[in-house]
């Protein structure tokens, strides 16, 4: 059944918990008239909304925080977190307000959250607003990650107005409507653990299991089973990030989803040239969240989560669960890299091949996405080196040797060319959201109120494995000028 906004069945299971877990707060109306600058039909389908619903005045008013929806229980969630390794005991949704949740015809529950809708009790001297540039970046990247097949929050729409907000400079405010089955984070559990409020902590964990991991409720120790499941989901998620060259930029425990979703897009970035030490966050001076550190940080964050469960599981059980992380991560990463190279399954013979390739790519600063996409067209039995591939390397003779070894491996382990090439093109995206692409959309929106680039990129990034011949320019390596784009925590 399709719904208008008035008929959308809305509840809020999280708001049924005690108010220790959240604060009741209403969105702050905008000072100036709000404008709907983009709407995502794919996300609207998750809510069973009628096509064309976004054309109504009501839609714009609700998703700019200027009108209530179905008398929902609006809340801002409370949590703590380890930020850059330091524990911060009191955080929370400082600029996000949950409108409620709805369950669609497939039985999927989706929380609806306004990000940038004004002050909450957790704003910590902030204004609770989001700027247009950060809203556009999260909107584009959450849909790009969905298109890549990576677990993520989704984005329904962006509204904006001429209200001014003050960051490093005066900017325009915007509100992003974000969807997720749950916005509970590792830091949500940390908040109660470090206050010794174990009864409330247990209540929160029971809520998570009941609503999001019901299959674990009959387990002999559902709390240990929950930890094991979150470890597995997180390990696989970060392996997927590594495979597509995604850098989160700020992997604090309050930005880690209890469901294993990619959550909170701030100073993210995709690799251009292959540099395993790449730091996408201009604020990360020590490189804690560099690309090659993400797997280790994932385990560190999971250890923080495991600590919160020790009132209910033994430390030995927690330690043994964490010991499984690297095996799960390595298995997933190896399989993903095997598929990127055209092999149906990983085997140990492929390890030297992969290591040699990545070493050469690092030395030559080879474009990560472009190389793997162009490799898809390589013919197994044509010994002529592809000149485009060869031009990506500083030592062409060394790369020639790699190609010789690679072709031999293809003959031994891979399917025939035609089926292999099709499979490789489903493992290697042609398009990722490079910083300069997002920046162009931001500049057009800020300077000209032209939102066509957002629309173009959404359509492209929701299907990043397709050819899109008319958009070939977006598949090219980033121009040299992108090095001047600095992305920080305020982005």
Q: Is 349 a catalytic residue?
A: no
C-alpha distances (whole Å) from 380 to each of 361, 377, 384, 404 are 21, 9, 10, 10
- Which of 48, 93, 254, 367 is flagged as catalytic? 254
Neighbours of 315 (CB within 10 A): 11
How far is the C-alpha of 68 from the C-alpha of 245, rounded, in Å? 40
Dist. CA 380–CA 414, nearest whole Å: 9
Distance CA 423, CA 342 (A): 7
DSSP labels for 118-186? ---TT-TTS--BEEHHHHHHHHHHHHHHHHTT--B-EEEEEEEEEEEEESSSEEEEEEEEEEES---BH
CA-CA distance, 328 to 476, in Å (whole number)?
Answer: 34
Cα atoms in the Cβ-side hemisphere of radius 13 Å centred on 149: 12
Token pair listed for 4: 């208008």
Tokens 């298109």 map to which residue?
147
Number of Cβ atoms within 10 Å of the Cβ of 228? 20
Six token digits for residue 479? 């121009």
Separation CA 290–CA 294 (nearest Å): 7
**Helix 350-364 with 396-413: angle, nearest 10 deg:** 150
Phi, psi of 166 (to 5 degrees): -110, 115
Could you list the active site residues?
254
């Amino acid at each position: 059944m399709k719904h208008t906004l008035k008929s959308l069945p809305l509840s809020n299971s999280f708001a049924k918990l005690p108010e220790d877990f959240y604060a009741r707060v209403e969105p702050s109306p905008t000072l100036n008239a709000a404008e709907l600058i983009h709407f995502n039909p794919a996300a609207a389908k998750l809510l069973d909304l009628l096509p064309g619903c976004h054309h109504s005045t009501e839609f714009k008013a609700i998703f700019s925080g200027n009108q209530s929806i179905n008398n929902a229980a609006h809340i801002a969630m409370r949590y703590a977190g380890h930020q850059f390794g330091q524990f911060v005991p009191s955080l929370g949704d400082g600029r996000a307000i949950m409108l409620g949740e709805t369950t669609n015809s497939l039985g999927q529950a989706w929380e609806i959250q306004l990000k940038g809708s004004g002050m909450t009790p957790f704003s910590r001297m902030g204004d609770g607003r989001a700027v247009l540039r950060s809203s556009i970046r999260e909107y584009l990247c959450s849909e790009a990650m969905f298109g890549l097949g990576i677990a993520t929050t989704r984005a329904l729409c962006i509204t904006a107005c001429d209200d001014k907000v003050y960051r490093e400079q005066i900017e325009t405010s915007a509100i992003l409507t974000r969807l997720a089955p749950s916005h509970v984070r590792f830091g949500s559990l940390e908040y109660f653990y470090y206050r010794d409020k174990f009864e409330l902590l247990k209540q929160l964990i029971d809520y998570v299991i009941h609503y999001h991991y019901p299959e674990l409720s009959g387990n002999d120790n559902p709390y240990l089973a929950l930890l094991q499941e979150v470890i597995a989901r997180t390990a696989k998620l970060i392996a997927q990030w590594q495979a597509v060259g995604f850098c989160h930029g700020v992997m604090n425990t309050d930005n880690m989803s209890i469901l294993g979703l990619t959550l909170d897009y701030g100073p993210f970035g995709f690799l251009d040239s292959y540099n395993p030490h790449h730091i996408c966050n201009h604020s990360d001076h020590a490189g804690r969240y560099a690309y090659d550190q993400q797997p280790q940080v994932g385990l560190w964050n999971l250890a923080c989560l495991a600590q919160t469960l020790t009132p209910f599981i033994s430390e030995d059980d927690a330690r043994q669960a964490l010991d499984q992380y690297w095996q799960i991560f390595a298995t997933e990463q190896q399989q993903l890299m095997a598929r990127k190279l055209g092999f149906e399954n990983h085997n140990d013979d492929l390890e030297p091949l992969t290591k040699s390739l990545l070493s050469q790519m690092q030395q030559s600063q080879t474009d990560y996405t472009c190389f793997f996409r162009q490799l898809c067209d390589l013919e197994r039995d044509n010994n002529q080196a592809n000149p485009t591939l060869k031009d990506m390397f500083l030592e062409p003779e060394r790369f020639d040797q790699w190609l010789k070894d690679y072709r031999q491996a293809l003959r031994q382990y891979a399917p025939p060319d035609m089926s292999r090439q099709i499979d490789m093109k489903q493992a290697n995206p042609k398009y990722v959201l490079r910083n300069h692409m997002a920046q162009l959309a931001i500049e057009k929106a800020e300077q000209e109120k032209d939102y066509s680039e957002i629309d173009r990129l959404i359509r492209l990034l929701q299907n990043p494995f397709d050819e899109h011949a008319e958009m070939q320019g977006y598949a090219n390596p980033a121009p040299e000028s992108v090095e001047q784009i600095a992305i920080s925590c305020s982005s």
